[in-house]
Amino acid sequence: MDPTSEYLSLGEPDRAVHLWRYTPWRKVHPTGNISEIPEEVSPPGLSLCCINGEVPEGVRLIQGSESVEGLPDSDSTTSSFMSAITANSTWTVEVDPGFNPGKTVVLEINADSPISAVHICMKVGTHSNFEFVTVVKGDCEWLGLLRTGSTGEGSITNDVVVNLLGRGTLLRVDSIHIDRDSQVVAGTISSGSEMTKSDLRYRMGQPGGNLNVLGSILSAEEMILDHHIEIHHDAPETFSRLDWHSACGGKSKTVGTGMLKVSEGSRGADAAQLFQNLLLSENAQADSIPELEVTENEVVGCGHGTASGPVDEEQLFYLGTRGLSSEQAKSMLVAAFLNSTLSEMGSMEMHNWLVEILSDDLDALGI
């Protein structure tokens, strides 16, 4: 069945499923009419560059995409809808085996049409070292971003997505396979769009995979930023960590739901997840639900946790004694909270560039 027919055959998703518990599909759909797939969909503008200098040889942006084997199980609603709506806008970021330029490659996605959608497939070569940032920006009403791909055997990949949309809704769906002995850092920075719904899924289907999923989320005003993350351990000797930090101000709401699945036969798996929320106002709301599903007995460890609270008054007082105003002290503490995950997302070049972006957003949002 083709994606369009599959989607149209489905009913409304069950709100009992964590993916849809807090932000139902009807609110995320570009028109609100879940029985249709919009026909007037424009591809966003794409450009490949580097933070400093030109794009080196060994990485390229190619129109079209190939099927990827070993992807994690997906939600039928998001996978079929996104495959259908991005059918005419698919691209592949192809990285040669052994690629190691020592530069941060940046893909800019600029969406200014009312409804835009794009499918980006990542094909990372074996034993490469690839640092990659996807920056989403523009003034669209709705953007669909589908990301699929695999990391080659023995590769090292830092993959960061930055949401800087000026308004509207972002629906992001990631489905990534992590190959044998490959190391992946998957970072998310979100401080744009009025509503974000993300369904991020990673699968380690071969031994030796190493995954670190990091989030630095900043919400203000009446934003709703909802992220669902799944990590599937389907092979022996795999390792994963999920560390998600959200700072919530105004009347905004952040949601973080995490699922770690360790299947039978995944001996020696080591998995943990932690959600931390910093509440910056009385009207801000943060919901976090970490879950474990373990069917293998011989594991190194599996754990989860969540914590929420306001800015520490003692820290504010101390910074005040050092000459900072209450606004400056608060902003500094929020920046430090978000930087604890941001600092682990990649090289110093990438980190300095991302800190500058996040600092600008803190000022723009009045935090």
CA 4 and chain centroid, separation: 25
- Residue 308 main-chain phi, psi, to 5 deg: -140, 145
Q: Are 299 and 270 in contact (CB under 8 A)?
A: yes
- Orientation angle between helical segments 326-342 and 313-321, nearest 10 degrees: 120
Residue 27 has pLDDT above 70, yes or no: yes
- The dihedral region occupied by 51, where left means phi > 0, alpha psi between -120 and 50, and beta the remainder, is alpha
Residues 4, 9: Cα–Cα separation, whole Å: 9
For residue 270, the tally of other CB atoms under 10 A from its CB is: 17
Which tokens sit at 358?
A: 């996040």
DSSP strands (E only) in 179-334:
183-190, 195-204, 210-219, 224-233, 239-248, 253-262, 270-279, 285-294, 301-310
How confident is residue 182, by pLDDT bands cut at 50, 70 and 90? very high
Per-residue confidence band for 297, with pLDDT thresholds at 50, 70 and 90: confident
Give the other-Cβ count within 10 Å of 88's Cβ: 11
Hey, CA dihedral for 195, 161, 140, 81, is it positive or negative?
Answer: negative
In this prediction, what percent of the chain has a pLDDT beyond 90? 71
Q: Which residues contact 106 (CB under 8 A, 6 or more apart)?
A: 48, 49, 50, 51, 132, 133, 134, 135
- Angle at the Cα of 322 from the Cα atoms of 320 and 327, rounded to 5 degrees: 40
Q: What is the mean pLDDT of residues 252-270?
A: 94
Summarize the confidence of residues 217-242 as an average pLDDT.
Answer: 95
The pLDDT of residue 361 is above 90? no
pLDDT digits (tens, 9 = 90+) for 109-164: 999 999 999 999 999 999 999 999 999 999 999 999 999 999 999 999 999 999 99
For the stretch 187-228, pLDDT in tens is 999 988 999 999 999 999 999 999 999 999 999 899 999 999
Least confident of 44-48, 295-299, 363-367: 363-367
Instruction: Return the pLDDT at 363.
Output: 66
Q: Over 90: is that where the pLDDT of 328 sits? A: no
